[in-house]
Amino acid sequence: MGKNRVGVFFGGRSGEHEVSLLSARSVINALDPERYEILEIGITKGGEWLTGQEALKAFEAENTSSLVPVVMIPEPGNFILYRRTEGEVFEPYIELDMAFPVLHGTFGEDGTLQGLFELAEVPYVGAGVLGSAVAMDKGLFKHVMRATGLPVLDWVVITDIEFHADMNTVLDRAESIGPYPLFTKPANMGSSVGISRCENRSDLVEGVQDALQYDRRIVIEQGIDAREIEFSVLGNEDPIASVAGEIVPSDVFYSYKAKYVDDDSELIIPAKIAQDLTYSAQQIAIEAYKAIDCAGMARVDFLLEHETDRLYLNEINTIPGFTNISMYPKLWEATGLGYRELLDRLIDLGMQRHGQRVKLLRSYGEAL
């Protein structure tokens, strides 16, 4: 049998575009060239799909003029990328066996790209439409977790319309969830983009305005004095959780700057927490993962309150960072699963989930 042609998708229409390039570089460098033929597919900030020789390098250099514009037709069983030629004519360009999205944030991690793959019945790595969408929306995710009985901090969701119509009422509602500090976050964003720690009402106004630049819906949540504990989860119906990791941020919280700009944040693997607490967190992580029908992979983040040792589920990232300093692969490495083997497992899991989907009946008459 020949190699599987894996399309690695990166970039995208998101505030995490640059982070995606970093993750894609690590994934492409680690995929086994003996098993896979790698096709690099970049998505510009304007949404154009481009491919070609060393496409990622071209995106990194911000010089994509030599790349080939392509599209995918949402037609079942059609795994072909079509080249857009002069005169807006589309012709078959190259066929894929599997899609490996490494896009963080909106239009990549939120179920939209996964929906396209579902329409075309293309096998892909990671969570499906439902799991991606629920995990991505921080407000909806908290509602689902609380309905499931899992511990989350108090929060409110506000929209840009509400805020601009009656700012003081919105601020009063936000302050009613608890004392400062409060955190403001875009509902659909990651990598700490648009997140602010607010110590007073003036900060809160600025934090809300900043978050609303990235999303029309934002989450304001209670802040606590806590350690940041993370687990990597792997699997489909029977997922497993890694050892615990702890982040000691260089900033007042694990901000974008602390994650990607400076080198002063500390990753402690395994985290120095009691074994029974580790086990409890692993079970919560797996329960949360299954509650949203996640698949393939996710990083599950917790806040561990200093004073009480209480665990609060913070969020699930369905396409976690894959850079050389990212927690997701590091935690699996500490658990005994190397980077290359991890990628192999993810591709296998994507193929398994695809196999389940294509067996389903799409018409009642088919069962008669």
Dump pLDDT digits (tens) for 308-352: 999 999 999 999 999 878 999 999 999 999 999 999 999 999 999
- My answer on whether omega of the bond before 329 falls inside 30° of 0, hence cis, is no
Residue 104, amino acid: H
Q: Are 211 and 184 in contact (CB under 8 A)?
A: yes
Sign of CA dihedral 34, 339, 6, 38: negative
- State the DSSP code for 124: B
Q: In which residue are the tokens 């009613």 written? A: 176
Residue 171 CB contacts under 8 Å (≥ 6 apart), including other chains = 201, 204, 205, 208
Burial 111-150, CB ≥16 within 10 A → b, else e: bbbbebbbebebbbbbbbbebbbbbbbbbbbbebbeeeeb
The token pair at 281 is 């967190």
Q: Indicate where the chain has its CATH 3.30.1490.20 domain(s).
A: 154-222
Per CATH, which fold does 154-222 belong to? Dna Ligase; domain 1 (3.30.1490)
Amino acid 263: pLDDT: 58
Q: What is the mean pLDDT of the chain?
A: 92
Give the pLDDT band (50/70/90) at residue 194: confident
pLDDT of res. 252 = 59
pLDDT reading at 368 higher than 50 = yes
Q: Which residues contact 238 (CB under 8 A, 6 or more apart)?
A: none
pLDDT, tens digit (0-9, with 9 covering 90-100), for 40-83:
999 999 999 999 999 999 999 999 999 999 999 998 887 899 99
pTM of the model: 0.91
Q: What is the per-residue pLDDT for 255?
A: 44
In sequence order, which ranges of the chain are alpha helices (DSSP H)?
A: 17-30, 55-60, 112-120, 129-136, 138-148, 160-165, 167-175, 201-211, 256, 275-291, 327-335, 339-358
Listed in order, the ranges of the chain carrying CATH 3.40.50.20 are 4-124
> How many residues can be counted in the chain?
368
Q: Which CATH architecture has domain 4-124?
A: 3-Layer(aba) Sandwich (3.40)
Give 258's pLDDT tier (boundaries 50, 70, 90). Answer: very low
- pLDDT band (50, 70, 90) for residue 1: low
Taking domain 226-356, whether its CATH number is 3.50.50.60 is answered by no
Beta strands at 240-241 and 196-198: parallel, antiparallel or unpaired = unpaired
Residue 367: what pLDDT? Answer: 56
Question: Where, residue-wise, is CATH 3.30.470.20 in the chain?
Answer: 226-356
